[in-house]
Amino acid sequence: MTATGPRPDPGFVGRTEEVARLSAALELALESSSAPLCLVVGEAGIGKSRLTARVAAHARELGLDVGWTEAEEGAGPFSALAGLRARGDDARSGDDARWDRLEAVAAAIAARAPVLVAIEDFHWADDSSAWVVERLGRQLQGVTAPLLVTARSDEPGTTKVAGLLASADHVVRLRGMTLEETTRLAELTAPGTDVDGARLWERTGGVPLFVREAAVLAEEGGGPEGGTPSLATEVLRRRFERLGPETARVLAALALAPGATSLLVLARALDRPVDAVAAAIDVGRAEELVVDEHGGGIRFRHALLAEASADQLPPAEQRELRLHLATALELEGDDPALSRAAELRLRALPAGDVDAAATAALEAVVVLRAAGDDSAASALAQTAVEVLTTYGAAAEVMAALHVERGESLFELGDAASAGIAFAAAVELAPGDPTLRARAETGAAWFANPLVPDTATFDRLAAAAAALDPADSALRVRLLGRLSAASISHPAAREQGRRHGEEAVAMARRLRDPALLSQALADLHLAPATPEESVVRERAADEIVTLGERLGRPEVALLGYEWQFGERLARADLPGAQDALARLELYARLSSSPRWRFAAGLRRATMVCLSGDRERCLEVLESEFENAGQWIHPEELIGIGMTFRAATAFIYGIPDPVLADRVIANQDAADLLAAPFVQASLALGVLALADHEAARVHLGLAVAGLDVLATGLESVFALNACGVVAGVTGDVAAARALRPRLEPFADRLSSGSGSVVVPVATTIGLLSDLEGDHDAAVRYHERGVAIAERVQSAVLADRCRELAGRTAPSVAAAIPTGRGAITRQEDGWSFSSPFGTALVEESRGLLQLVEVLRANGREVTALDLAGSGSGPAVAVQHDLGPALDSRAKREYRARIADLREEIDDAEDMNDPDRASRARWELDTLLEELGRAVGLGGRDRPQGATDERARVNVTRSIKRAISAVGAVAPELGAHLEASVRTGRQCRYQPDPAAALTWEVTAS
């Protein structure tokens, strides 16, 4: 039987409570300008799409626009976001790709606000799309853009759905309809039919899709016996059987064909006239089996229908039909058709030739990558790898597929999956020199530079020897990786540097700025001598210039990060501050949080040196909280432990958090044979006053001294070991370490975003252990001078303390007792076991007195800002960030334009135009600086509590300095014990605690 027209839509039945909940969420989003995440989950056919359409209609009534997108099974990275992309969306490649895509999608949504964003079939979403969707709500703060996500609860992709459940604002779980709703839907679907509602409900479980299909069969006289709720395919099978074999075969071909397949291709594959195929499609359209897609094309109304249609053919016939479809598509000749044909040949196996299918897949992947479609390329390569692993294919082709997939994923920012793909390619040991070089270069990106690894270096060297020596981008990348790999292989250090220098020279010859910046980064990754550090700073300057001219903040950021580290290491405080300011500014413009974390870590170092330990740790923990979602936990634990250990050592104050970090890091060290990790652990347990354990870890670190001295953060690691040796009295370690450290005697060791003590101070400790007391005195004096050059009173005091003893304890006991503060006619009098002082009254002193009067209770900075002379400060609300996503992108674009204009003006010898462009660029950067807070975060506008924190912190520090000028020990005690920030309090080491009594006479 052929239907003469479309069947009437039965309308929307039931779901009253669900519609009400979602409608209320829309109304609340409008009132609060928010983007709540609403998740609708349920099995296939349960009515998620119809519910979404109903809610979308209500959204339009409320004045919201509606945006739609949907995921497709097996599609490539970011494919589920296709309906949400902004015009011209061309996210950068590499680590920033996901963050660029998140920013671009959020900007596109914000541009349409107020808008309801419907994302259907989330269970099919690829990992990259899921990653973006999970973060959209936070990115859309202040934007009216509720998100309505639907997903099946009975698919493998429910692991992605689980990631949304915890963060969703509203979760609607669709169940089967009630008996009354089931009966009503059946009556509307098949008017005039005698419906046995109870039996229908019992057989279908109230799943709307199956209720409608069963009602259609009942209307046609077949009764409701066509299956059970768990065998809905039987209902659908009977639906297709009645169409007749010719129509069923055409629809089966449509089900097996990829999306957007034309009628001509179907006709060729079936060896039928186009008119006959079109007539069969018309039958399917009349029966509501297929629908017209927007922009042309035909598709099944839902996936279950497509599956049921294909299942009308035996598996062998399905495979043959796929081969015919592939041949028909190849006649089209365009790249998309070839790609779809290759996938069909893969899915037709074991029918057809395995090697031919593998070769076709590889060629299609290469074509897709050349067209810039890395998302589709990685998806096809993944399909090919999965299928060909089952049926077998030549190892060389398999290796090539793994390499192509790895490079595509790397461009898309999915580093973890890319690393797995490259490792699989290396395992296959391809014989082609170019393919082998690509595989080894890709895999080397994921080698841990802290761990000795001669195998990686040897494989890279062999690949380089086999590769054509002519200039090429691949050879530059391979040689650069060889240089980077040599830092964990001391015997190959010089050879690695030669390879790195060759890579830089070749990149210059190729005139490729991006390639050159990477070659410079590889060559100067780990300077091992003072001379190499000088060269690295020059390389940092060049990387900054390259990054700014390329308009790529992530490139310039590496240069600023290196500039900061090198300038701070040589105690150039103004230079380090300038580099940090630019690092924070460009981190704010970057879409990747990696750079905001790097900037925040360096800012915490500067706060630590300024003497504000509490604020330093606040910044550190804030950065770690933000970084937890994207940095590997073990790496984060290591960085946090090292920073806290160094801070605890400088201040001589126990850190209650440090013990847990040390334990966690010890667990990681059992699996990671890295001398640097042992050096960090030695410092960590030293800060916990466990000298015995510190010496054990020191011995393990010194056992790998050659690796330690040439690897990442080598000066920091050597300096940390020297401190541990000096404090614990390890003479053997001191003798081994001193000659390694002496070339760096004029440096303030900085590494991992933290500082221990100047290298000269460490050498002073080691000299004392060796009995060279005259040298010890000279080195200690140099250490104090370096600390003073960076204007760090707390570091200078620590250096002086270390100069006074051979093996100082980390947390020396301080006398306990009581302190008294009395107001006099000529100021305030302080009496304590640390000394007495009479200090002139000031606003900061009054605030200090209030903090001490509280004796450990917190006092807000806002309250303190209103104490003393002057008016109280009125609280203002945070007016939001000074920069939104659109502003950041516009700033980035304008900066790139100005850089290009400056270069063009210089090339054209037009100094006036270059000067005007530089003036505008400087003005723009100054405006950005005012909008950027710590670590490159958005600086809120009009936030009085932030101004109060800054002003109170500054004035209390001045007051403590005034006390210290009269009574140095008392000043040192207050500096170490008074915590400032938004909450201020007196929090000394319990062994040093005083109870303060304040008398205002």
Please list, residue by residue across 500-525, b when 16 or more beta carbons sit within 10 angstroms of its beta carbon and e when fewer do: bebbbebbeebeebebbbbbbbbbbb
pLDDT at residue number 653: 84
pLDDT at residue number 795: 92
Ranges in the chain, pLDDT < 70: 1-11, 85-96, 153-160, 203, 217-236, 294-296, 302-304, 627-634, 668-673, 750-753, 805-816, 867-889, 925-945, 1001
pLDDT at residue number 231: 43
Contact between 187 and 162 under an 8 Å Cβ cutoff? The reply is: no
pLDDT at residue number 16: 87
pLDDT at residue number 871: 37
d(CA 85, CA 148): 17
Contact between 638 and 665 under an 8 Å Cβ cutoff? The reply is: yes
DSSP per-residue letters across 25-70: HHHHHHHHT---EEEEEE-TTSSHHHHHHHHHHHHHHTT-EEEEEE
Phi, psi for residue 125 in degrees, rounded to 5:
-60, 140
Q: Where are the beta strands (DSSP E) in 235-313?
A: 290-292, 298-300
pLDDT at residue number 1001: 60
pLDDT at residue number 276: 93
Cβ-based neighbours of 967, under 8 Å, separated by 6 or more? 830, 834, 835, 836, 837
- pTM beyond 0.75: the answer is no
Tens digit of each residue's pLDDT (9 = 90 or more) over 745-763: 999 976 556 788 999 999 9
pLDDT at residue number 235: 59
Please report which helix (H) or strand (E) contains residue 737, including its range: helix 731-741
DSSP per-residue letters across 108-157: HHHHH-SEEEEEE-GGG--HHHHHHHHHHHHHTTTS---EEEEEESSSTT
Instruction: Please choose, from the candidates 720, 717, 730, 728, the residue with its C-alpha nearest in 3D space to the C-alpha of residue 757.
Output: 720
Instruction: Please choose, from the candidates 176, 173, 240, the residue with its C-alpha nearest in 3D space to the C-alpha of residue 204.
Output: 176
Tens digit of each residue's pLDDT (9 = 90 or more) over 39-75: 998 877 788 888 998 999 999 999 999 988 888 777 7
Cβ-based neighbours of 587, under 8 Å, separated by 6 or more? 557, 595, 596, 598, 599, 935, 936
**Number of other residues whose CB lies within 10 A of the CB of residue 870:** 9
Token pair belonging to 553:
């903040």
Tens digit of each residue's pLDDT (9 = 90 or more) over 369-419: 988 888 889 989 999 999 999 888 899 999 999 999 999 988 887 777 888
Contact between 362 and 404 under an 8 Å Cβ cutoff? The reply is: yes
DSSP per-residue letters across 197-223: HHHHHHHHTT-HHHHHHHHHHHHTT-T
Residue with tokens 């221990």: 756
pLDDT at residue number 229: 34
Token pair belonging to 566:
């090198």
Phi, psi for residue 823 in degrees, rounded to 5:
-85, 130
Longest CA–CA span in the chain (Å) reads 109
Collapsing DSSP states into helix, strand and coil, what is residue 838?
A: strand
pLDDT at residue number 87: 45
778 exposed, middle or buried (CB, 10 Å; 0-12, 13-18, 19+)?
middle
What is the length of the chain? 1001
pLDDT at residue number 806: 37
